[in-house]
């Protein structure tokens, strides 16, 4: 079959790569793609902010299956438009994608359906913000309602800072767009985990758990980014916790969205904060939902996926996710992002990338996040440029105990990290930066 993927970042590169391994896929087309994706797919230009243009590409290609990667096309209703025209599409409809595209919708949905999340208030004016803030201690979190590419969350140490952040969201100074709603939220302390469920409108099934590294600097310091790296590992969530999240978060979302007439099909990404209780147990709380694969978690997840990815997409469309067997290679995986110097602030583009052919390890894949071809050379074309992704050796078991410094276990993760950082050494471009500590929490905890 012919499959068309909408998007052009590292996540879409990983999806195209996985489609390339499917026995059922004859051709992969990616719109718009990037220089790396062009090695796995035929790339066709499209503006992912233009609904009519995306529909036109699918109509011209007449793909048997279309997979929507990023949130922007989902927010514009590309799935609704394509289904209306009779195409098979993987991803949620516009109304279901509101779980991601509106923080106030998501918070209110969680409140009415008793899904654990931080206390909050939705405000539409600065006066309301001032009034509500008096109910929150510091630190306090201020969130823009709409899509903000990871930049719409400000953690504030004082009420004055929170008020300023909210004012800048309303005025458009912070994000370039004016927000009509701002969410004030209780600050939660704990470990973050991303839990991914595949949903078919009726069933949610566990796909994977991953941990992202959003801050630009090592030790989780500096400003937030789109993600500087991620890892997955068998020990990241216990079986009991995975079952708890599936039942009390993902399946409840699917059930209640169906009840409300906005059934959810696609990937539900549950951004969780695992908050420690005084009795030593953990209370998982939802920080956010995304309604698509995360980036860079997807790169780390898909290198371990053994099930044909087309089976996942079809089960979600056909309502058969409950019969799906999702097989994952045992062990761990990691994706380390090579970013442009200056990112997430100002950075240069168009810089030649050296060493892309230097990676000979079959357990390493270099996914392209932001690249282009200029005069026959692959050059940088974004803040995040490459995702150097590695999977631990095939024989690694989740229970292995050999380890690196300061760790009780985690040899699978060490193995994957060694491969990724080894490959990174051969790659360079002017100003390239990457975090050298991806997976540090897991190594510390001996996962």
Determine, following the binding rule CB under 6 A, whether residue 181 of this chain makes contact with ligand AMP: no
Instruction: Quote the least distance from Cβ 31 to ligand AMP, whole Å.
Output: 26
Determine, following the binding rule CB under 6 A, whether residue 288 of this chain makes contact with ligand AMP: yes
CA distance 367 to 352: 16
Determine, following the binding rule CB under 6 A, whether residue 287 of this chain makes contact with ligand AMP: yes
Torsion of CA 297, 299, 304, 310, to 10 degrees: 110
Query: What single string gives the DSSP state of each residue in 234-264?
Result: TTSS-HHHHHHHIIIIIHHHHHHHHHTT---
Count of other CB atoms within 10 angstroms of residue 323 = 11
Determine, following the binding rule CB under 6 A, whether residue 129 of this chain makes contact with ligand AMP: no
Instruction: Quote the least distance from Cβ 438 to ligand AMP, whole Å.
Output: 16
Do 382 and 149 meet the contact criterion of CB atoms below 8 Å apart? no
Determine, following the binding rule CB under 6 A, whether residue 116 of this chain makes contact with ligand AMP: no
What residues between 377 and 416 interact with ligand AMP by CB under 6 A? none
Do 72 and 48 meet the contact criterion of CB atoms below 8 Å apart? yes
Identify the residue whose tokens are 């996540």. Answer: 11
Q: Per CB under 6 A, which region of 24-32, 180-188, 368-376, 429-437 contacts ligand AMP?
A: 180-188
Among residues 284, 312, 317, which one has the least CA distance to residue 298? 312
Determine, following the binding rule CB under 6 A, whether residue 118 of this chain makes contact with ligand AMP: yes
Q: Per CB under 6 A, which region of 181-189, 323-331, 361-369, 400-408 contacts ligand AMP?
A: 181-189
Instruction: Quote the least distance from Cβ 273 to ligand AMP, whole Å.
Output: 6
CA distance 367 to 297: 12
Identity of the residue, 73 or 152, whose beta carbon is nearer to ligand AMP in the bound complex: 152
Collapse the DSSP code of 381 into the 3-class scheme (helix H, G, I; strand E, B; otherwise coil) and give the result: coil
Residue of this chain nearest to ligand AMP (CB atom): 288
Task: For residue 355, list its beta bridge partners.
Answer: none
Determine, following the binding rule CB under 6 A, whether residue 57 of this chain makes contact with ligand AMP: no
Q: Per CB under 6 A, which region of 15-23, 187-195, 249-257, 304-312 contacts ligand AMP?
A: 187-195
Do 265 and 201 meet the contact criterion of CB atoms below 8 Å apart? yes
Question: Looking at 162, 188, 272, 336, which residue binds ligand AMP (CB under 6 A)?
Answer: 188
Q: Alpha helices of 45-123 — where are they, by DSSP H?
A: 51-61, 71-76, 78-84, 94-101, 103-112
Determine, following the binding rule CB under 6 A, whether residue 187 of this chain makes contact with ligand AMP: yes
CA distance 199 to 217: 34
Identity of the residue, 141 or 321, whose beta carbon is nearer to ligand AMP in the bound complex: 141
Identify the residue whose tokens are 């309301």. Answer: 128
Question: Looking at 214, 252, 329, 374, which residue binds ligand AMP (CB under 6 A)?
Answer: 214
Determine, following the binding rule CB under 6 A, whether residue 308 of this chain makes contact with ligand AMP: no
Name the E strands within 10-158. Answer: 27-32, 42-43, 65-68, 89-90, 120-123, 140-144, 153-156
CA distance 428 to 426: 7
Question: Looking at 185, 234, 297, 400, which residue binds ligand AMP (CB under 6 A)?
Answer: 185
CA 76 to chain centre: 19
Number of residues lying near ligand AMP (CB under 6 A): 13
CA distance 209 to 430: 34
Identity of the residue, 63 or 232, whose beta carbon is nearer to ligand AMP in the bound complex: 232
Identity of the residue, 46 or 337, whose beta carbon is nearer to ligand AMP in the bound complex: 337
Q: Per CB under 6 A, which region of 183-191, 333-341, 358-366, 387-395 contacts ligand AMP?
A: 183-191
Q: Per CB under 6 A, which region of 16-24, 38-46, 186-194, 202-210 contacts ligand AMP?
A: 186-194
What residues between 220 and 279 interact with ligand AMP by CB under 6 A? 271
Torsion of CA 314, 319, 320, 326, to 10 degrees: 60
Q: Per CB under 6 A, which region of 83-91, 182-190, 347-355, 389-397 contacts ligand AMP?
A: 182-190
Q: Per CB under 6 A, which region of 82-90, 179-187, 403-411, 423-431 contacts ligand AMP?
A: 179-187
CA 42 to chain centre: 24
CA distance 260 to 258: 5
Instruction: Quote the least distance from Cβ 135 to ligand AMP, whole Å.
Output: 15
Determine, following the binding rule CB under 6 A, whether residue 192 of this chain makes contact with ligand AMP: yes
Identity of the residue, 128 or 186, whose beta carbon is nearer to ligand AMP in the bound complex: 186
Half-sphere exposure of 341 (CA within 13 A, CB side): 8
Question: Looking at 67, 76, 153, 353, which residue binds ligand AMP (CB under 6 A)?
Answer: 153
Interacting residues toward ligand AMP by CB under 6 A = 118, 141, 153, 155, 185-188, 192, 214, 271, 287-288
């Amino acid at each position: 079959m012919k499959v068309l993927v909408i998007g052009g970042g590292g996540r879409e590169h990983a999806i195209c790569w996985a489609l390339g391994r499917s026995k059922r896929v004859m051709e992969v087309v990616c719109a718009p793609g990037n220089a790396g994706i062009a090695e796995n797919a035929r790339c066709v230009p499209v503006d992912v902010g233009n609904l009519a243009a995306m529909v036109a590409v699918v109509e011209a290609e007449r793909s048997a299956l279309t997979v929507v990667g990023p949130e922007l096309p989902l927010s514009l209703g590309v799935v609704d438009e394509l289904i209306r025209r009779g195409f098979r599409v993987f991803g949620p409809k516009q109304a279901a994608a509101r779980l991601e595209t509106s923080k106030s919708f998501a918070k209110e949905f969680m409140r009415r359906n008793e899904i654990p999340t931080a206390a909050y208030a939705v405000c539409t004016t600065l006066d309301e913000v001032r009034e509500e803030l008096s109910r929150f201690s510091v630190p306090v979190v201020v969130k823009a309602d709409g899509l903000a590419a990871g930049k719409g969350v400000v953690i504030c140490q004082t009420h004055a800072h929170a008020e300023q952040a909210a004012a800048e969201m309303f005025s458009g100074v912070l994000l370039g767009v004016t927000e009509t709603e701002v969410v004030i939220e209780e600050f939660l302390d704990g470990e973050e985990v991303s839990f991914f469920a595949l949903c078919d409108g009726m069933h949610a099934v566990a796909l994977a758990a991953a941990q992202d590294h959003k801050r630009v600097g090592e030790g989780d310091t500096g400003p937030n980014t789109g993600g500087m790296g991620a890892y997955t590992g068998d020990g990241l969530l216990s079986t009991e916790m995975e079952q708890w999240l599936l039942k009390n978060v993902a399946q409840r979302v699917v059930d209640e969205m169906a009840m409300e007439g906005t059934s959810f099909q696609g990937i539900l990404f549950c951004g969780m904060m695992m908050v420690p209780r005084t009795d030593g147990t953990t209370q998982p709380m939802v920080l956010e939902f995304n309604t698509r694969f995360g980036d860079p978690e997807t790169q780390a997840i898909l290198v371990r996926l053994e099930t044909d990815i087309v089976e996942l997409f079809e089960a979600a469309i056909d309502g058969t996710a409950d019969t799906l067997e999702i097989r994952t290679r045992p062990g761990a995986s990691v994706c380390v992002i090579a970013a442009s110097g200056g990112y997430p602030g100002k950075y240069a583009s168009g810089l030649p990338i050296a060493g892309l052919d230097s990676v000979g390890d079959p357990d390493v894949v270099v996914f392209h996040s932001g690249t282009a071809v200029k005069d026959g050379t692959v050059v940088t074309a974004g803040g995040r440029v490459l995702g150097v992704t590695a999977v631990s050796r095939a024989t690694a078991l989740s229970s292995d105990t050999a380890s690196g410094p300061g760790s009780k276990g985690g040899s699978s993760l060490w193995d994957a990290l060694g491969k990724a950082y080894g490959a990174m050494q051969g790659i360079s471009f002017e100003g390239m930066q990457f975090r050298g500590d991806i997976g540090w929490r897991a190594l510390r905890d001996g996962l």
